[in-house]
Amino acid sequence: MRPAGLAAIGAAMKVRVHVTLKKGVLDPQGKAIHHALEGLGFAGVNGVRAGKLIELDVAGGTSDAELEEMCKRLLANIVIENYRVERVEEAA
Amino acid sequence: MKSAVIVFPGSNCDRDMACALELVTGARPAMVWHRDSELPYGLDLIVVPGGFSYGDYLRSGAMAALSPVMRAVKEAADHGVALLGVCNGFQVLAEARLLPGALMRNAGIRFVCRDVALRVENSQSAFTARYEAGEEIVLPVAHHDGNYQADTETLDRLEGEGRVVFRYASEVNGSARGIAGILNEAGNVLGMMPHPERAVEAAHGLADGRRLFEGLLEAVGQPA
């Protein structure tokens, strides 16, 4: 068995952080996109909310707690935004 | 009065601010680069100017809030040094959590660049001592992300504690309760979207910003 430390160094990992506006926070960009879709003739769009997708390439050993910290301290502004961390399996 | 203006890559109101400070206070401010981790000794005022620090990457002010100099700025503010954030400077102070709330994209989506009427809601602060409470003044705004938002509890607290110092007299950017400028709890940190430094002399067409700097000068015992 390989020591855990080596495994951590060896395996990189992709993480997707989804940043979205909190419910109830007005989203002018989403509104503009909505209007543009209607302008293109797409009926039946009831609402649009725009957010951000941030992809991180991190060391395999990166903990959930560290990822949380990254979100809280920089990637999202928790006054107005929510975030969701998604670990992505790297295709070999 | 000893003052300093913080300069980030992408700041563009730093020199206007320096000119205004020199004109009104008679002393040239120190220009402090964002990588510096120390501020000059004995400052009375620190200004975080307008512009597009770090290209507004991620969120307006988010990157600047983490730059080395901001640690020193926070420490100075904690010790009671007056700290003024204008426009992008307000965004930086909010991102640095020196002020509550956040500045979002203008509700009308467009960049707003014009003179706006403001009501001075509190004339008790060092920043507004030279204004009358309830007075209406005119200052220029130029921003894309000036839509101030905070939760209801925070807004109520700001109002209750007299920390909303400037309010738009009419709709500008969708800000909650028309908020244009707020103080921190201690009253020594002011963030505002309008530009007082662009309205300090007759040649500017507007001079209502001048009294903000005069008030600060008076607060440190120098008659303006």
The 10s digit of each residue's pLDDT in A59-89 is 988 999 999 999 999 999 999 999 999 999 7
**Of the candidates B207, B180, B206, which has an alpha carbon nearest to the alpha carbon of residue B193?**
B180
Confidence of residue B220 (pLDDT cuts 50, 70, 90): confident
Report residue B208 as tokens.
């209502």
Confidence of residue A10 (pLDDT cuts 50, 70, 90): low
d(CA B38, CA B36): 6
pLDDT on residue B149:
96
pLDDT on residue A54:
98
Average pLDDT over residues B2-7: 98
Q: Distances in Å between the alpha carbon of B123 and those of A59, B69, B162, B190?
A: 53, 30, 10, 13
Residues in chain B: 224
Residue B54 backbone zone (phi > 0: left; psi -120 to 50: alpha; other: beta):
left
d(CA B123, CA B126): 8
Q: Which H/E stretch holds residue B195?
A: none
Q: Name the catalytic one among B13, B87, B121, B214.
A: B87
Q: Which of B104, B108, B174 is opposite residue A80, by nearest beta carbon?
A: B104
pLDDT on residue A9:
53
Total domains present in chain A: 1
Which of A20, A77, A81 should be substituted to probe chain B, the one whose Cβ sees the most B Cβ atoms within 10 Å?
A77
* Partners of residue A28 in chain B, C-beta under 8 Å: 104-109, 147, 174
Residue B96 has a CB neighbour count (10 Å cut-off) of 21
Least confidently predicted of B29-33, B63-67, B219-223: B219-223
Task: Return the HEC string of A61-78.
Answer: CCCHHHHHHHHHHHHCCC
Q: Distances in Å between the alpha carbon of B99 and those of A17, A53, B136, B179, B181?
A: 26, 27, 24, 13, 10
Q: Is the pLDDT of residue B36 over 60?
A: yes
Which of A35, A79, A81 should be substituted to probe chain B, the one whose Cβ sees the most B Cβ atoms within 10 Å?
A79
Q: Which H/E stretch holds residue B47?
A: strand B45-48
Which ipTM did the prediction report? 0.85
Secondary structure class of B78 (helix, strand, coil)? helix
Confidence of residue A6 (pLDDT cuts 50, 70, 90): very low
Q: Distances in Å between the alpha carbon of B185 and those of A36, B146, B201?
A: 42, 21, 31
DSSP chain A: ---HHHHHHH-EEEEEEEEEEPTT---HHHHHHHHHHHHTT----------EEEEEEEETT--HHHHHHHIIIII--TTTEEEEEEEEPPP-
pLDDT on residue A92:
47
Report residue B205 as tokens.
């067409």
Check if B197 is active-site. Answer: yes
Identify whether the C-beta of residue A83 lies closer than 8 Å to the C-beta of residue A52.
no
**pLDDT tens digits, residue range B66-99?**
999 999 999 999 999 999 999 999 999 999 999 9
Q: Is the pLDDT of residue A1 over 90?
A: no
* Partners of residue A74 in chain B, C-beta under 8 Å: 58, 62, 66
Confidence of residue B124 (pLDDT cuts 50, 70, 90): very high
**Which residues, at least 6 apart from B134, have a Cβ–Cβ distance to it below 8 Å?**
B119, B120, B121
Check if B143 is active-site. Answer: no
pLDDT on residue A26:
86
Identify whether the C-beta of residue B52 lies closer than 8 Å to the C-beta of residue A64.
no
Check if B136 is active-site. Answer: no
d(CA B84, CA B24): 15
CATH number for the domain harbouring residue A30: 3.30.1280.10
pLDDT on residue A42:
96
Domain range for A25: 4-88
Average pLDDT over residues B27-38: 96
Reported pTM: 0.92
pLDDT on residue B63:
96
**Å between B214 CA and nearest CA of chain A:** 34
**pLDDT tens digits, residue range B140-184?**
999 999 999 999 999 999 999 999 999 999 999 999 999 999 999
What are chain B's domains? 3-215 (3.40.50.880)
Max intra-chain CA distance, chain A: 60
**pLDDT tens digits, residue range B191-215?**
999 999 999 999 999 999 999 999 9
